[in-house]
Structures are given as structure tokens and as C-alpha cells.
Structure 1
């Protein structure tokens, strides 16, 4: 079955409306960080204040996401995501009102943190829904689930390209207040729609049928290793964005920063969609190892970049390794986690990515103050080297993980424990 046929069959299980709603519902999170940065910076005249507010939102979201994921596993996505969407939308509205008032900027940071706690991680929650959706496909289920994760990885990347672009577009015709207002409106409408969709009931039905033994296991050694892998990819995002901003500014074209960073997403989206064509016999731990090597190899040319022109092909190429690496870690995380805890696991991996972004941006920023864009990009290369170390040293551990998804927590030693389509070792 070709990748196009796989996607056609996958989307046929839900209909196009769900796919569109689930994509648009993740845009507010992608818009909120940049929107907050520009809004608070513009109203206070301080990039430090804007950065503090945006950072508070990102860190609070990373801390809160696994908690909401656990509650979604327990109480169902409908109730949890509906509350997040309504309260998160109200929080964004409150933030833009506070930022435009005479209140000290610290109140904007507090509002940003509270808002960040409630913003839903739609991408991870959508991943949780695909296994019960694909169960309608019978024996084709394992391959369709992997196709679904390929799509979700590409959709996440596309949202973090399109989200900032929407912010820039709204600001160009209005102002940062309007941009954050658009994010609030999208979250209220499409976040709630995503929460109430029938697929949310399917996901909760799977979680309710897990046994007592399955409910108690989330933070396995394998999942911790995968969180470290996602922390590394977050570091790549943060350091690349910082280095690119410095290079564009030094080149006299600071307005190109967003467009240049989007190039990373373009290559990533295309590679993510192409993941459906990979042979199912290529075991996931092995795939993660070699994708880490590719990430490192494609990041090294950043150290040779000296202008915006030479940066363009390097970012496009680097993006080819990003989505496949993330798709593989999320797929592994879903495979080794009991169905009663998949929501918590997916949001935990997303939270690790967000924390990695914050650390990567902070470290790269400090180094950029000292030596410009090249030391900032050195953080990206170091992250690639760390990805190689984690994936290769952790391969035996991942190979020993039981396959827990679908309600089957079996040891990998038994040949029949490996579902067709996605081998673990």
C-alpha cells in the first residue's frame, strides 16, 4: 500500500472534518508563545518583559500538560479538553486585557503562566485517539497507527510553522492584541469542537478497559529515555531559533527570522509525511538510532553558515531529520505505555520537548551574546550528539520494553508479542 493510499484509508475512518478540526485546534498553542512575546514587548517597550511572559507561558504549559493528560486518561478527553479550551481562551483574553492596561508587566507574566497551565496539547491527545479509531481496520491496524503517527508528527510541525505565520499576518494588518485575540477565538471554537468529537469517547473507552496492573505503570525506564530524546529535540528547536534570529539581525534582516525558522518546519513536514513509506520491518529502536545520527550529521553544517543565503539550504536539510525523529519517539512511547496511561505519556513527551526548547533558547542566547550565531548553533550540534548518545546507549533498554498498547502488556521475549507492522527490536 502506497503512502497516499495509507493516508486516504486513515482519513476515511474519521472523515475530513475531524482532521481539519484537530489541526486548527492545535494552532492556538503554536500562536500563543510568539503572540505573548510580541504583545508584552510592544506594550512595555521591553523585550525582557516579553520574553519573561512568553517563557512563563511555555514552562507552565510544559509542567501542566502531563497532569491534564493523566486526567484525560482517567476522566475522558471530552471533559478535560473542553475545560482547557474554555478556560485557556478566557486566559488569553485576560492576558491581552492586562497587557494593554496600566498594570505592571509582572501581572502579564502571571496571566501568561496561568494561561499556559490550561492551554491544551491537542497533538498528543489526537495521537491517543488513533489506535481505537484504527481498530476498525482489523488486521491493517498496526500499519495505520504508524501512518497516523507520521501524520501527527507532520501536523505538529506544520502547526508550528503556520501558527507564527498567522501571528505575523494578523500583526501586519492589525496588532499583537488582535493576533492573541484570534488565538483565543480559535481555541474556544475548535478546541471545544475537538473535545466534543465522537473520537474522544473511543479513546476513553479504551482507557477504561485497562486492568489494575496496567493503570499503575507510567514512568518506566523506557519512557524516561524517550522523554530525554524529546528534550534533546526541543533543545534543537530553541537553539536554532535563537541562532537564526541572531544571524538575521546581524545581516540587517531581522524580519526574516520567522520565515527562516519556518524552513526547518517545511523539510520536517515533508519528511514526516514520507515516514509512512518506511518498511515496517525497520525496528523502532534501530530507526531512532540512525535518525539521531542523521540529526547530528545535518546539524554540523550550521557551524559553517555565515549568511542568510547559506543558511536556507542547511535549515531545509536539517528539517528532514526532525519530524522522523519525533515520530519515532512518540510511536515508541505509545507502544510501550499501557492504554490506561497513553494520554499522560504523550503529554509528558510533549512537555519534555517544551522544556528542551526553553533550555536550548536560554543557553544559545547566552552564547550568542558572547560570540554571535555560531556558538548558538553549536548548541544544536551538541544536542545532536546527545541524541546519538541517548539513542545508542538506550537501545538495549528499548528493545526489552514490553508492548503494552492495545491492552497487551507482554514481554518482548515472546515472538507472538510483536504485533505485525511495528517491530520493537
Structure 2
């Protein structure tokens, strides 16, 4: 496999248009959670409150995301997306107003829930379009490209948020994130030619396909991956502030995302003889080891080596996981399958964000990194357990 494979994928009819549209929207999604941390912390001065609001956002996304994906499977992406993204715009405006006014904590959490419950699952929608457009043997390369898109989003998104927050404009990050999500969703809805056919999921009884053991292990892995990301976002930001260098948070996020982008790109340049389950287990073990430097780092430069190691491991977990998910479920419920994996990640992020916020306020940034390390060890254990499944 070579880089020509990626180019050939984008030359498929309509592929470049929907893929690039979702890339822009996913940058907004990647910004949203961290932008809420900056927004709420700037107003309240508490990482606990910021973690609770971010957690409420993630829980709502986890619960509502698969239901929105099911609507897309049943009624079609072009009919479902426009009302979803418009409601999301209203929800984000409501959250900004609540934070600005300074309402009680619980009401701010409600605002986070409204924003999370209306965010479209652009990654799942894009994956479903690839599955409808390509032959089965070309899907692994397409999912590798999807992972690169996600890594690009998490390269630029957190950097933009951290830059705006450190510059004294935390609300601007939330506004920009919502703008990218809404515009990306509306542009995707306008592309009718590549939209997968609607109505198939209702005939296939999706629950039976999604409850298979192999898919449940993947859901657990994504739950822990979300926990890792949720705790790292708060911990890295807190670490930078503890050392009086808030601006270094952007550099640390850039280091992690660049490492992930490089690893994901190189992964897709060749065909691997190792089974995806073994790839997943090896990468998960590497992530667990890579978390160790962050537990003892005492400067942003030392932390940079740790986030680089973990960044290298993340795409090597996500790409084999996507390949295994496509094999584990029926094609007609693939949108929902990817949405459930995203929801598992969001649920993990919710719990870890709240836990990391408490750990940071109580023990400092290293307490938050302990939460992230714990999540990485859970990933390794689940991936090892998945080796036994047929």
C-alpha cells in the first residue's frame, strides 16, 4: 500500500467532497470539549465545575449520539442533519449565555447537556458513506484515512482552543467550534449523491448485531480511550498553568497530535500481515507504557516526551478497532455501530473529566495524569481479552 491509495479513495465519485466537509466539522467537534473547560474555568476559577460541565456535555453526547445515528439510518442523512445542527447552534448559544450570566453550577451543567445532546456524529456519518461507496476490501484504507482526519482535527482543534484561551478569549473557542460543526453538518446534508440509502437498519434488528461479544469489547476499549482523552485534556492544561506557562498547553497538544498523525499516516502506507486483534493489543500495551513519563514529569519539556509516546499509540489502536468494528456488525447498522463507539468514548471522557478535575484540584496535575494512566491500563487489559474472541 502507498500514499496513492489515499488519493485513489478521494477520487471516488463524491468522496473528496463529503470527506473534506466532515474534516472541517470534526475540527469543531475536537474543539468543543476543551473549549468548555476554558470557558467555564475562566468564569468560575474551578476545574471541578469545568469538569462537571464538560462531563455533562460528554454524557449527553454519549446518550443522544446513537439515537441520532439511528434516525439517520432510518430517514437518511440529508433529512436528519439540518434540524440537528440548527438545534445545536441554539444549545451552544444558551450555554454561552448561562456561563456569562453566572447562573448556579447545576444550571450550567444543564447547558452543557443541551450542547452535547445535539452535536452531530459526523465521523459515524462519514464512515457510513465510505461503506456505501466502496467495495469491502477498500474499507480498511478508508478507515485509516478517517483516523487521519480525526487526528488532524485533534491537532488543530485543541491548539486553536488553547491559543484563544491563553490569549484571554475563552468564549471565542466555543463560538468557533459551533460554527465549524454547524457549517460542516449543513454542507454534508447538501451532498445527497453519496448519502447511504435509508430505512435498512429497521429491517435488520440492529440490536442483535451490536450486542456481539467482539463489538462489546471494542465498545469497552473506546470507553477507556475516551477516559484517556478526557483526563489528558484537563491534566495537560492544568500542568501548563501550574508551571506558569499556559501557552505551552498548545505546544503539548501539538506534540501529541503530530505524533498521532505521523503514526496513522505510516500505518496506512502498507498492508499488515498481523491480525487486527494483535495489532490492537500491542498498541494498547504501548499506550500503557507511554503514560508512565507523565506521572513523574516536572517540566513541560519532560511532559512533551510522554505525550509524544502516547500520541504514537492512539491511531494504532483506533484503526484496527475500526476494521474490527466493520467486521463485527451488519453493514446496515454501521452508522449506529460507529456512533455507539463514539458514545462509549464520550461516556469515558465524561467520567474521566470529572475525575481528573477533582484529582487536579486535590493533588495537582499529576493526579489527573494518574487518571489517564489508569484508563490506558484498562485499554491494554480489554485488548488482551479480545485476543481470545473469535
TM value normalised by structure 2:
0.89
For 1:346 and 1:112, the matched residues in 2 are separated by: 23
Distance 1:373 1:34, change over 3 A: closer
Residues 275-284 or 285-294, more deviating: 275-284
Map of 1:142-157 to 2, 5 A cutoff? Answer: 142=137, 144-157=138-151
Q: 1:189 aligns with which of 183, 189, 203?
A: 183
For 2:179 and 2:372, the matched residues in 1 are separated by: 35
- Higher relative contact order, chain-length normalized (CA < 8 Å, sep 6+): 2
For 2:240 and 2:164, the matched residues in 1 are separated by: 22
Residues 81-90 or 158-167, more deviating: 158-167
Residues 360-369 or 294-303, more deviating: 360-369
Corresponding position of 2:269? 277
| 1:117 Cα deviation from its structure 2 partner | 0.4
For 1:122 and 1:346, the matched residues in 2 are separated by: 10
| 1:226 Cα deviation from its structure 2 partner | 0.6
SS at match of 2:211: coil
For 1:385 and 1:338, the matched residues in 2 are separated by: 30
Map of 1:338-357 to 2, 5 A cutoff? Answer: 338-357=330-349
Q: 2:288 aligns with which of 289, 296, 302?
A: 296
For 1:106 and 1:193, the matched residues in 2 are separated by: 34
Residues 162-171 or 287-296, more deviating: 162-171
SS at match of 1:204: coil
Q: Deviations over 1:329-361 (max 9, x none)?
A: 122112211122111110111111122223333
Q: Which runs of 5+ in 2 are unaligned?
A: none
For 1:305 and 1:174, the matched residues in 2 are separated by: 27
Distance 1:308 1:86, change over 3 A: same
SS at match of 2:209: coil
Q: Is the 1:24–1:190 Cα contact (8 Å) retained in structure 2?
A: yes
SS at match of 1:120: coil
Q: 2:377 aligns with which of 385, 388, 391?
A: 385
Map of 1:251-330 to 2, 5 A cutoff? Answer: 251-330=243-322
| 1:42 Cα deviation from its structure 2 partner | 3.5
| 1:90 Cα deviation from its structure 2 partner | 1.9
For 1:236 and 1:357, the matched residues in 2 are separated by: 7
Distance 1:161 1:113, change over 3 A: same
For 2:356 and 2:173, the matched residues in 1 are separated by: 27
Residues 151-160 or 368-377, more deviating: 368-377
Q: Is the 1:90–1:184 Cα contact (8 Å) retained in structure 2?
A: no
Q: 1:234 aligns with which of 220, 226, 238?
A: 226
For 2:43 and 2:307, the matched residues in 1 are separated by: 32
Q: Is the 1:31–1:183 Cα contact (8 Å) retained in structure 2?
A: yes
Q: Deviations over 1:179-232 (max 9, x none)?
A: 33333332332211112313552x225x62896466743222221111111112
Distance 1:109 1:12, change over 3 A: same
Q: Deviations over 1:374-397 (max 9, x none)?
A: 443333333333222211222222
Q: Is the 1:210–1:339 Cα contact (8 Å) retained in structure 2?
A: no
Distance 1:310 1:210, change over 3 A: same
Q: How many residues are aligned here?
A: 389
Corresponding position of 1:109? 109
Q: Is the 1:248–1:256 Cα contact (8 Å) retained in structure 2?
A: yes
Is 1:167–2:166 an aligned residue pair? no
Corresponding position of 1:86? 86
Q: Which runs of 5+ in 1 are unaligned?
A: 136-140, 400-425
TM value normalised by structure 1:
0.82
Q: Is the 1:99–1:105 Cα contact (8 Å) retained in structure 2?
A: no
Corresponding position of 1:6? 5
Distance 1:240 1:181, change over 3 A: closer
Distance 1:157 1:96, change over 3 A: same
Q: Is the 1:25–1:194 Cα contact (8 Å) retained in structure 2?
A: no
Corresponding position of 2:130? 130
Residues 377-386 or 69-78, more deviating: 377-386
SS at match of 2:210: coil
Is 1:247–2:247 an aligned residue pair? no
| 1:44 Cα deviation from its structure 2 partner | 4.8
| 1:49 Cα deviation from its structure 2 partner | 3.9
Q: Is the 2:158–2:253 Cα contact (8 Å) retained in structure 1?
A: no
CA RMSD of aligned residues (A): 2.6
| 1:43 Cα deviation from its structure 2 partner | 4.2
Is 1:30–2:24 an aligned residue pair? no
Q: Is the 1:76–1:200 Cα contact (8 Å) retained in structure 2?
A: no
Distance 1:361 1:33, change over 3 A: closer
